[in-house]
């Protein structure tokens, strides 16, 4: 059953990886705002403003 050792180790590596990712995202302030992003993704009309009549 040594395969279990392997799988557990592998899984742990992955889990640690995600833990680090989590810490990063908190540090980066990713979760400071838990509402606005869900609205933001609805805007897809960030087309270039054709301000020809404007210098």
Partner 1 sequence: MNTNTEKFSYDNAIVRNFAIAVMLWGAVGMLVGVIAAIQMFAPHFSLGIPQTGFGRLRPLHTNAVIFAFVGNGIFMGVYYSLQRLMKARMFSDVLSRIHFWGWQLIIVAAAVTLLFGFTTGKEYAELEWPIDIAITLVWVVFGINMFGTIIKRRERHLYVAVWFYIATWITVAVLHIVNSLELPVSFLKSYPIYAGVQDALVQWWYGHNAVAFFLTTPYLGLMYYFLPKAANRPVYSYRLSIIHFWALIFIYIWAGPHHLLFTALPEWAQSLGMVFSLMLIAPSWGGMLNGLLTLRGAWDKVREEPVLKFLVVAVTAYGMATFEGPMLSIKSVNAISHYTDWTIAHVHVGALGWNGFLTFGILYWLVPKMWGTTLFSKKLANWHFWTGTMAILFYAIPMYWAGFTQSLMWKEFTPEGFLKYPNFLETVIRLVPMYQMRAAGGFLFLAGTFLMIYNLWKTAAQGRFIANEESEAPALVKNVVIHDHYWHRWIERRPIQMLVLSLIVILIGGIVEMIPTFMIKSNIPQIASVQPYTPLELQGRDIYVREGCYTCHSQMVRPFRSETERYGEYSKAGEFVYDHPFQWGSKRTGPDLHRLGGKYPDSWHYNHMFDPQSMSPGSLMPSYPWLFTQSINYASTPKKIKAMRTLGVPYAEGYENQANNDLDQQADKIVASLKSVEIEVKRDKEIIALIAYLQRLGTDIKKANPSTTAQNQ
Partner 2 sequence: MQAQVEKEVKCYHCGDVCGKDEIVVTEKHFCCDGCKLVYEMLQENGLCTYYQLEKNPGIKLKAAQHERFSYLNDASVQSQLIQFQNNEVSKATFEIPAIHCASCIWLLENLFKLREGILGSEVNFIRKETTITYDHRAISLKQVVELLASIGYEPSISLEGAPKATNRQEKLFYYRLGVAGFAFGNIMLLSFPEYLSAGSFIEQHFVRFFAWINLILALPVFFFSSSVFFTSAYESLKRRQLNLDVPLALGILVLFGRTVFEIVAHTGAGYADSLAGLVFLLLVGRWFQGRTYERLSFERNYKHYFPVAVTRMNKGREEQVTLDKLAVGDKIVVRNEELVPADAVLLKGEANINYSFVTGEAEPVARSLGQIIFAGGRQEGCTIELQLTKQVSQSYLTGLWNHKAFEKQREDITTFSNKVSRYFTPALLLVAVLTFAYWAFTDIPKAFDAFTAILIVACPCALALSSPFLLGNAMAILGKNKLYLKDTTVIERLSAINEVVFDKTGTITLAGNKDIVYSAGVMPDDQQALVKALVRHSNHPLSSRLRQYLGNNGTYDVKQFSEVPGKGISGLVNGIKVKLGSAAFVDLTESLSGGIAETRVWVSFNGVPKGYYAFTNQYRPELKEVVAALKEHYTLSLISGDNEGEKTKLQQYFGQEVAMHFKQSPHEKLHYIEQLQQQGKKVLMLGDGLNDAGALKQSDAGISVSDNINNFSPACDAILDASQFGKLPAMLAFSRAAKTALIFGLLISGAYNAVGLYYAVQGNLSPVVAAILMPLSSVSVVAYGVMATQLLGRKYGLLGAAANAPKVNKSVANYEIQLT
- Residues in touch with partner 2 (CB under 8 A): 1, 4-5, 8, 12, 15-16, 18-19, 22-23, 26-27, 29, 31-36, 38-40, 42-43, 45-47, 49-51, 53-54
Closest separation between CB of residue 8 and partner 2, Å? 7
- 31 close to 25: Cβ distance less than 8 angstroms: yes
Closest separation between CB of residue 41 and partner 1, Å? 6
The closest of 38, 16, 36, 20 to 28, measured between CA atoms, is 20
Judged by CB under 8 A, does residue 44 bind partner 1?
Answer: yes
Return d(Cα 51, Cα 32) in angstroms, integer: 35
């Amino acid at each position: 059953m040594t395969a279990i050792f392997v799988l557990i180790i592998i899984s742990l590596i992955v889990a640690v990886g995600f833990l680090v990712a989590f810490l990063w995202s908190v540090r980066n302030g990713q979760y400071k705002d838990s509402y606005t992003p869900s609205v933001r993704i609805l805007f897809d009309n960030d087309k270039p403003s054709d301000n020809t009549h404007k210098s």
